[in-house]
Structure 1
């Protein structure tokens, strides 16, 4: 299937990237300028700012309560942005939709970014907030059932790495992992996956841009051979939480996400792979206003709530 026509129209208007090295400060400012005004955001019962004190320092979080209820499942969310972009604000609409459709209380994590913070700062923050959520379950109104993690793109990297790290630490309270078009192999050899060539140009995220966009993270000490950096390199996937892996047809990262989902299945993990036709990388963040591409939020809700009912 060709790219969705609405996405195609927008891709056709994108300017060529400026010459020279990437400028994190300028790119973050550009993202911030696109954030919706508070009055235009999806209304929920409550949205609260909080600070989580961890062994590594203070981590800002935003807590989304969908409706008034006695108790909730918890979903800890890690935003994308190639480890140096993204914020609580740029992905606020994703967290709101996850809360609304799933009925879970969502905790979005404002983890430390590269290049200002070296590996594993961001990963440490994400993992620490998950542990905090379990420890503070009573004050968060946790129903004691679902404690899910989710992330998009590089946030999906963190979600997969947190799931593995928790398993290795004997922390078995994570019940689900949800990976939206995850970046799972930071070895960007174009011959590793067919989608790196098939979707190399013209779909927003381009294969040639993967190395420079991820260079801030890799240059901070993240080794692509480390399974906590490239989760697909983990040899043993047994015992990891049930997974929903959502991929996009026109995404260079499509095949590594689907291979990871298949490897989870082969390891005995209850894993579901869901490819969205006509979609590109980032579609959940950028194009959820297209009805077909809002559907992942309903899919997540079904995945979480069906398992919670067992």
Structure 2
């Protein structure tokens, strides 16, 4: 495995240099405070060649921040590990958040996104559950979604011992994690599991975007149109087609959105997911679902992770936290 990663890293480094030159115009479109030398290396396409190095990079453990206790739990049916983050000074009864990591359905870990989960703990006093769901292409849909739903069911069943107020649970995630979160919310609604809110950070919710050829100016930084096509194909386990997708595979394909819990959706104007996220927010509102939509000029996919200290990104993240604070009490 180390040899594979080393070879992949060499190729990725060479590709990053070429991409840096090719992306100059696209980088200039980003907001000045969001331009960073990391952009070129972070804009490497996802495919079978780069997947080993991407998984290696997104497999490292990250610090969730001070005042947070981490604990690992294992579910036997299905065979699933979950990471639970709790405040060191645990309240008698806390809101619960299911946080689903991103990575295009093909990479990422709960530990890698511990900082995002940690912000939820710190800002909300919440207990956060993060599933290590199965990844495509080895495990195509519905494996990852089933794991995330199982984690939510486990949260509800064990709410008392976890210290979670079962009446104050939200489901959140970023990128592919946001797409899974939206689908979990839909399944939870259909299966009678009550939720207070959903927080969708530039969610990956519509496979039909991967078939578009009119995305000029969007999806040129970090998460590209080619990465999107490859990841959706890997997740669905088949070639893409506009005609149909399995139920819950792509949240934006659901026709009836009425009755879903209040939503916060945030996305940058340079993000490949911009149009699908805005459309989903508008459809939620039309269906009578309270929805707060935040679009950020000059923001590309994942900018809040690359340039965390930028004031616009701090405001972006604070927006969802404020929304959750309102709905979780």
**Shorter-normalised TM range:** 0.7 to 0.9
Residue 7 (structure 1) aligns with: 34
CA distance in 2, matches of 1:106, 1:291: 25
Q: 1:261-272 to 2 correspondence within 5 Å?
A: 261-272=281-292
1:105-116 equivalence runs, <5 A: 105-116=127-138
Who is 1:240 aligned against? 260
Q: What is residue 168 of structure 1 aligned with on the other side?
A: 190
Please state if 1:290 is matched with 2:304.
Answer: no
CA drift of 1:20 comes to 7.7
Among residues 65, 72, 80, which one is paired with 2:86 in the alignment? 65
Superposed CA deviations along residues 1-25 of structure 1, whole A, max 9, x for unmatched, are 9413343232554387489843433
Q: Distance in 2 between matches of 1:122 and 1:287?
A: 29
Cα offset, 1:232, TM superposition: 1.0
Counterpart of 1:178 in structure 2 is: 199
Is the Cα–Cα contact under 8 Å of residues 232 and 240 in structure 2 kept in the other structure?
no
CA shift in 2, pair 1:20/1:95, >3 Å: closer
> For 1:199, which of 218, 228, 246 is the aligned residue?
218
1:12–1:49 CA distance, 2 compared to 1 (3 A) = closer
- The Cα shift of 1:267 comes to 0.2
Q: Contact 1:114/1:216 (CA < 8 Å) preserved in 2? A: yes
Any conservation in 1 of the 2:42–2:222 contact (CA below 8 Å)? no
Q: Secondary structure at the residue paired with 2:56?
A: helix
Name the SS of the counterpart of 2:207 in structure 1.
Answer: coil
Q: Which whole-Å CA distance do the structure 1 matches of 2:107 and 2:83 have between them?
A: 17
Structure 2 SS opposite 1:217: helix
Across the aligned residues of Structure 1 and Structure 2, the Cα RMSD in angstroms comes to: 2.5
Q: Secondary structure at the match of 2:288?
A: coil
- Alpha-carbon distance between aligned partners in 2 of 1:119 and 1:79, rounded to the nearest angstrom: 16
Q: Given the alignment, which residue of 157, 161, 165 partners 1:143?
A: 165
Q: Output the CA distance in 1 between the equivalents of 2:287 and 2:265.
A: 15
After superposition, residues 89-100 of structure 1 pair within 5 angstroms as 89-100=111-122
Contact 1:119-1:217 within 8 A present in 2 as well: yes
Gaps of 5+ in 2: 1-27
User: Could you give the per-residue CA deviations for residues 169-188 of structure 1, whole angstroms, max 9, x where no partner exists?
Assistant: 222x2111111001111122
Partner of 1:49 in structure 2?
A: 72
* SS of residue paired to 1:211: helix
| Cα shift at 1:67 | 4.5
Counterpart Cα distance in 2 of 1:141 and 1:90: 24
Q: Hey, what does 2:51 align to over in structure 1?
A: 24
Report how far residue 108 of structure 1 moved: 1.0
C-alpha displacement of 1:301: 2.6
Task: Please identify, of 242-251 and 207-216, the stretch whose mean Cα deviation from structure 2 is larger.
Answer: 207-216
- The two structures have a TM-score, normalised by structure 1, of 0.87
Shift of 1:266: 0.3
Q: Secondary structure at the match of 2:234?
A: helix
Q: What is the rounded CA distance, in whole Å, between the counterparts of 2:33 and 2:277 in structure 1?
A: 24
Instruction: Work out the CA distance in 2 between the residues paired with 1:228 and 1:259.
Output: 17
SS of the residue corresponding to residue 128 of structure 1 reads: helix
Q: Distance in 2 between matches of 1:243 and 1:273?
A: 8
Contact 2:46–2:231 (CA under 8 A) maintained in structure 1: no
Change (3 A) 1:144 1:14: closer
Alignment check: 8 A CA contact 2:124 2:325 kept: yes
Contact 1:152/1:180, CA 8 A, preserved across alignment: yes
Q: Which runs of 5+ in 1 are unaligned?
A: none
Match of 2:226 among 208, 217, 222: 208
Q: Give the 3-state SS of the residue equivalent to 1:250 in structure 2.
A: coil
